[in-house]
Amino acid sequence: MVIDVEAEVAAIAGSLNVLNARLVEVMEYAIVRDELVGHGIHSPAQWLAYQAGLSPHHANEIVRVAEQRAAFPHVIEAFDRGEIGIDQVHVVVTRAPAWADDRVVHFAKNATVQQLRRTMRDEYFEGDPDQPATEPATGDRDRLTTGITDGNRWRINGELDLDSGTIVDAALAEARDSLFERGDTDVSWAQALVEMAQRSLDSIDSPSRRERFKTWIHLEATTGDAALTAGWRIPMAIRDHLLCDGNVQPVWERDGVPFSVGRSQRIVPDRTRRIVEHRDRGCRVPGCNADRFVEIHHVIHWLDGGPTDTWNLMCLCPKHHRMHHHGRLGITGDADSEHGLTFTDWKGRVIGPNGRPILPTGPPPEPGGEYIHPSGERLNMKWVGLGWAHDNALERRREHARRVEGPDPTGPHRR
């Protein structure tokens, strides 16, 4: 069988665009009507990520488009017809001003996502001169994220404004130079970043604060497996290197369950806290991806007779901890069991562990238009932004031209 691959991909892309447009429309409906409130949800993006099995980044992208859907009718109309993709729409609605909706839609259909990211900037849009400058879009604010890759490597990604960025750049340069002066003649920028972090930790004077920011390694005595508190496994070679110069604190267990302190004290000891954090690896509420700065919660409150034992202790992020104590999130069960906890919302409905997609029973909806992929031509920046001017800005240009050139002696129809 001979397949026209280009035509097939274009057809699939058009159907995906239509389905993504429908998802954006549904999310707009839910956001406007507060349909997602009360289920222990941090944000609409977090809810969508676990309901639809999306990455947090992609879910956030869909929600950002949903929030701007009403402000960009021309772009959304093309999106609904399947003529433009979700990534293209996201760049336009988060970087272009709403008044330029009809001016950029044609360009958005023909430009790649990378070209749109390069050109959708403030300097290419001439706004209404009679209106005050608006606050920069949320996407242009400072941001920084860290995490672990699939290859068990730590990653960092972010953006800062120019002033803050130059400070970080200077600090990196100083740390790199310092390592060079100490005899390391082949210093990388990654090593300079680690040097900066090490200096920060070395400057902590308070013993209790130092304990809080230590890196704890959980070592399985029978197998030799090592992992961080968050659950990320450590390769054997790195484990051996770390244990050569580290403090080892044993955790005693009986039948696989760590010893606890029962009713003898209310405050969770540091050793027990680390056990619970390592077991839970973040907030236990279904769909919540918070894994830092969690708080330890007694499932059965201590004042109600609940012991400070691991089966009665669990990790909650600050938001979900507050929601529970305000009666908006119910929690019961055995925290030591993998599926031993039951969570309910403020109406008593059980919160499931994840969304349950419904299998399609027929073909996807037909696009209302034809999807044509971006032209792929080299982008000539000299022509970018021509015509991306507010109507009031264009009128002011015409007034200026009339004042400079004077009245047209031959009449208004002369070219």
Q: What is the pLDDT of residues 127-148, one digit of tens each?
A: 888 877 665 444 456 888 887 7
Kindly state the average pLDDT of the residues 325-342. 89
Task: Say yes or no to pLDDT of 56 above 60.
Answer: yes
- Comparing 77-86, 201-210, 246-255, 378-387, which segment has the lowest mean pLDDT? 246-255
Task: Say yes or no to pLDDT of 50 above 60.
Answer: yes
Helix (H, G, I), strand (E, B) or coil at 226: strand
Q: Residue 94 — pLDDT band, cuts 50, 70, 90?
A: very high
Q: For the chain, which residues make up each domain, given as ranges?
A: 5-138+369-396, 212-344
Distance CA(306)–CA(308), nearest Å, equals 7
The closest of 251, 247, 306 to 273, measured between CA atoms, is 251
Kindly state the average pLDDT of the residues 226-234. 65
pLDDT score of 395: 87
Distance CA(100)–CA(134), nearest Å, equals 15
Distance CA(203)–CA(390), nearest Å, equals 53
Token output for 284: 């236990």
CB count within 10 Å of CB 311 equals 17
pLDDT score of 100: 92
The closest of 323, 368, 292, 384 to 77, measured between CA atoms, is 368
The closest of 215, 222, 202, 275 to 245, measured between CA atoms, is 215
Q: Which residue has the higher pLDDT, 218 or 323?
A: 323
Nearest 5°: the CA angle 45, 123, 405 is: 145
Q: Where are the alpha helices (DSSP H) in 96-138?
A: 101-110, 113-119
CA dihedral (277, 280, 285, 290) positive or negative: positive
Percentage of the chain modeled with pLDDT above 90: 22
pLDDT score of 124: 84
pLDDT, tens digit, 9 for 90 and up, residues 61-72: 999 999 999 999
